[in-house]
A and B are shown apart, each in its own frame.
Chain A
Amino acid sequence: MNDREFLIGSGVFAASFIIYLSIGAPHFITGRLVMFFSIVLFSGILIYSTRKAQRGEDIFLRTIPGLKAVEEAVGRSTEMGKPVLFVPGISDMDQVETVAGVIVLGHVSKMTARYETPLNVPVSRAIVMKAAREACKESYLVEGRPDMFHEDMVHYVTDEQFAYAAGVNGIMVREKPAACVYMGKFYAESLILAETGNSIGAIQIAGTASQSQIPFFVTACDYTLIGEEFFAASAYLSDKPELVGAVKGQDMIKVIILILIFSGVILRMLFDLGYLNMNILELLTVR
């Protein structure tokens, strides 16, 4: 799709929505209109940045130490002749963090294929097992090492949270992997896993969007991807322009949100002082 077609498509979408609104917007929940417009606007910014990056614009992506360390960790495992352990969290594929974790696994498995390092991926959900296997299989194929891939490198342990933690801890203590990578959605088992990894002297890299688990990972792991860094991992590791462009788009959205926060505070202050009749909180509250 070229720029002209893209603009025409956007125009048709906007015109259709205006017509839909003008006929009374049947079935549309009007209390969520601001949120709808925000999503359309932010999606537009992401698409714009992606297209710009695809056209060859040079985009600077700051170094993320945790992601830079992934290759170092795989290299260390290779030198020590020990496996890499990848834990994709304990949630199913309906969680975006698990999907992001499986995507990072795809990149990690490319490295293990390149360096001929054993990879061990214990999972706690059968659907994640299938998805992770596919990701690994594709990576080994892309790297030209399908002979090194075997399905059991991604294996199911259990759905139960602490039974899974016990199982993974057992693998750590018996196999002593040189690198442990935790990328996905974690709950209370995060510290149990990370502390065991620490006790066997493995280099540990974690990434999660589970806010309450971030302090545990920061304490016990060598590198931690905090929040959005975890979601930028795919862009960083693949270096694909469209993904890097989307990361830039996210930064632009962040600037807009910052401006909205500051202007919201000022507008609310003016409302409280009686200089303004419009309550910004009423407008922005999603019902």
Chain B
Amino acid sequence: MLWKRQIPILIVSLIGFATLLGWFFDQPTFKSFVDDDATQWFDILAAFAIFLGGLNLLKLQTQKVLMKQKGWQYSLFAIGGLLFAIVAGFFVKGNPEVAWGAHVTSKGTLFKWMFNYMVSPMQATMFALLAFYVASASYRAFRIRNFEATLLLSSGIIIMIGRVPLGSYISSWFILYLIVLVGGIVVNTIFKNKQYTAVAVLAGIILVTVTGSSMGWPVDKPAVFYLPYLQEWIYRYPNSAGSRSIMIGIGLGIFGTSIRYILGIERSYIGE
């Protein structure tokens, strides 16, 4: 119980307090422990732990191949890749002029070849898939289902068009005419009367046309309907307000969780 409960909690509390106080005190020895030594301890632990991870990977994939489990052929590639990386990293440099250690980043070595021609292209392939996933996710997010989704769609369109050069050529008056037409849809939905709708749309069009003629149809006026300005406003105000409130919540959550660990209130990480 002492080794499984009290001592881990004590270590977490001590290191937690030390790290927290390291921000407030500039005593050199203490500062160097918090900033350098403690993080190096973690790196050393992680470096040893990677052996556990590698062995676990090898064990599972080998089991899959031996037992001919579903998709065992893929495991052959996983095992082959792991062994090839070990050989290229520890046994075969491929370029005798390069020193051991430097061979992982130097040109002309087997490890660098593996990185440039296998690892990098495969990572790029996975990253490129993101574009298609963004498209399919956007399609689902922008489907008009309710008021919030409609709001998201409108904001999304304004931001997308307002941020490209084409957006600056779209006059505010064009947006105003669009708003008049959308207003017509709203009137029709509420009153379900063609005459009312026609009157509302006509009145709107006349109002916009008269105002536009009197002002000389400037592209960016009224500024509130000019897409580059509008997108900037959406991005800087409603968007910032929302993201900052989430940020404050996240900050508080992290603070609360950290304090719970340091004070030993939260003990779930040791299985309690």
Contacts and interface: CB of A to CB of B under 8 A. Distances in A.
A67 B49 CA distance: 32
A211 interface: yes
B56 A155 contact: yes
A218 B140 CA distance: 11
B266 A234 contact: yes
A107 B270 CA distance: 12
A162 interface: yes
A233 B272 CA distance: 15
Interface in B18-65: 20, 23-27, 30, 42, 45-46, 49-54, 56-57, 59-60
B99 interface: no
A4 interface: no
Contact of A162 (B123, B243, B272): B123
Contact of A126 (B53, B59, B254): B53
Interface in B242-272: 243, 246-250, 252-261, 263, 265-266, 268-272
A251 B70 CA distance: 49
Nearest to B74: A170
Contacts of A243: 260, 265-266
B83 interface: no
B49 A126 contact: yes
A50 B265 CA distance: 8
Contact of A174 (B70, B136, B138, B265): B70
Given A94-B42, A211-B243, A130 B49 contact: yes
Interface string B218-252: 00000000000000000000000001001111101
Contacts of B247: 211, 227
A130 B171 CA distance: 60
A27 B271 contact: no
Contact of B52 (A29, A130, A220): A130
A171 B260 CA distance: 35
B64 to A, nearest CB: 11
A119 interface: no
Contacts of A161: 123
Nearest to B139: A219
The size class of the interface chain A forms with chain B is: 35 or more
B269 A126 contact: no
Contacts of B42: 92, 94
A188 B260 CA distance: 30
A253 B252 contact: yes
Contacts of A27: 25-27, 30
Given A32-B23, A99-B269, A242-B265, A163 B123 contact: yes
B147 interface: no
Contact of A227 (B137, B253, B265, B266): B253
Interface string A179-209: 0000000001001101100000000000001
B141 interface: yes
Nearest to A31: B24
Given A160-B123, A192-B126, A192-B129, A46 B256 contact: yes
Which residue among B51, B123, B247 has the maximum number of chain A CB atoms within 10 Å of its CB?
B123
Interface string A43-71: 10011001000000000000000000000
Given A227-B253, A228-B250, 11 more contacts: A106-B268, A125-B46, A125-B49, A125-B53, A126-B50, A126-B56, A162-B123, A170-B71, A191-B130, A234-B268, A254-B252
11 contacts: A46-B263, A96-B257, A152-B59, A162-B122, A162-B123, A163-B122, A165-B126, A209-B254, A214-B246, A226-B249, A246-B265
